[in-house]
Structure 1
Amino acid sequence: MMAVGSEFMRRIPVTICAVFILSILVIACDRKSKVPAGSSKRATSQELHNAISNKDELRRILIRGMPTNEIIVALGQPGWVQDLGTGKQLWHHSLRPFAENDFAQGDNDYFVTGVTVGITNGHLADWGFVTTGVPKSRKENILYQANTLLDSADLKFFVVSNKPVPDGRLIDTDRFPKLGFIGGSPTVRIRRLKELTLKEQVFSEGQGRTNWSLSIVLNSEDAPQLEALTETNISMKVLIMIGNEFISAPVITVPVSTGRFGVDFEDRSLMESIKKQLAELQRQSQ
């Protein structure tokens, strides 16, 4: 059984939106304009926040729990807003591109060109970088890639690579820093669940804390897919998502032949969100 961490972030398949010349990257903005709730259309013109020049600066200013007005002060108005319902949104912000050196290799140079921020009930819940690969022969240009999301609430598994993959993207979030690259499509997609159970465990040491474990059982028709995935990717990381949320990224140590695996949570709100989506997937299977 895989016992793993969790993730709020949404999947960000890459779509090329515009070409930015590095020497001309200034867009005027109106910080007083409001972000319309419930809209998945462009909320305002794309802003390029020129003051941010490295990832450490982003990690310093983007703090979980900060209210949306402070996010706007730090990043400006988002250029793209997606309303996910139940008090959740994704804000997509453009940045003045700066070099991404953590994964610089091969024939491409990599640049951080934006930030995607997950909002829950008016506060920052999680965030991640938008990274763009540019052929070294065209280093003077940057292709800005805006983010789109899958609408499907399927359970998805991605094998993680430490090298760029065709049509893939870099996963580098607050909870999964420098995780690696995943492909544009999941290695395994599950649309049905047989069983879902929740276990709560309270630890009394120190101030006391509570963990939650979700046990997930696949249908007999889908279990062989998970077995094949885990059997052929021993020692590899596999990123698990439900809908648009990152759940966990375990390292595969043994094949999962039973169709059963577990996910551990320390964050109750995240656990409740994941449980709700998995329960809906289970109901659709009946």
Structure 2
Amino acid sequence: MPPIKILLGHLICFLMSLLLAGCSRSNTSEPGPRRADKTPVSPLALRSTAHLKRLLAPGMKTNEILAKLGKPITVFDAGQWAEQWEYPVTPFPADDGMRDAYVISASVFITNGCFANVGYAYAPRQHERSLSAREKIIVTNATVDGGQQYSGQQTPPLRLFTVSSNTIPGGRMIDTDRLPNLGYIPAAPFLEVPVVDQVRLVERLVAEEGGRTHTNWEFTISLPAAYWALLEATTTSNVFNQLLVTVGNEPVFAGRINEPFQNGNFEKTFNEASQVEGVKRELARLQRRK
């Protein structure tokens, strides 16, 4: 039987959709869930239960919501009442009335093609603790003039692109073993860095509730100070867009930009050991050689 807090969360979402019945839609389709499409959906990284509502202005059109959040994982057609768009959420501790629970998904309520409200589903908090952590510095570069000039062997640049599901004139399709059928990127990145300051890998063994354990591998890429403001500005304008990171022309990893990258750092976490070695090998190419 599902945990009572999950049931309560869905009940709250259902009651909210009833309250929106006054803003009816004109279609006559039968109520029920339908998957938006078969494209993998990255979870939203929200900082609080109020965060999503701040991102979505009252009356925002559906195309604007899609531009902000991407496609939902499921759409519930409520017939004459409304549509309910479901998004997975990277779990975070609930900061509303559902204490000692995690927020696990978000519902965006649409009436007459416009944003109306949000709701959340919850799960009991599972207490985790880090049992051990091993850190390895993969790249460390002494930069000169903010990384613009340096001596020694030239390294391939680090490049950041936005990814689109639509064809981009002059762009190219990314479809590799590591990133199958990812999407299209433009000819030029939104940020290119000739030399990074550091790449760090932390392997962390985590204990879950019930005695289970799992391992996470977290890469952190640090840029020279000269690029901090530009990194934050460009990622701010691309929040919730899909990001591709390449070393030279080689695609390395991708993910959603859930919030601006600050202080010149950004991270990527993997849960599968099979994914780690290839990424580590490509990022190691950013190391300068004398």
> What TM-score bracket applies, with the shorter chain setting the length?
0.3 to 0.5
- Give the TM-score normalised by the residue count of structure 1: 0.40
More helix by share: 2
Q: Name which structure has the greater RCO, CA cutoff 8 Å, separation 6+.
A: 1
Superposition TM-score, scaled by structure 2 size: 0.40
Bigger Rg, structure 1 or 2:
2
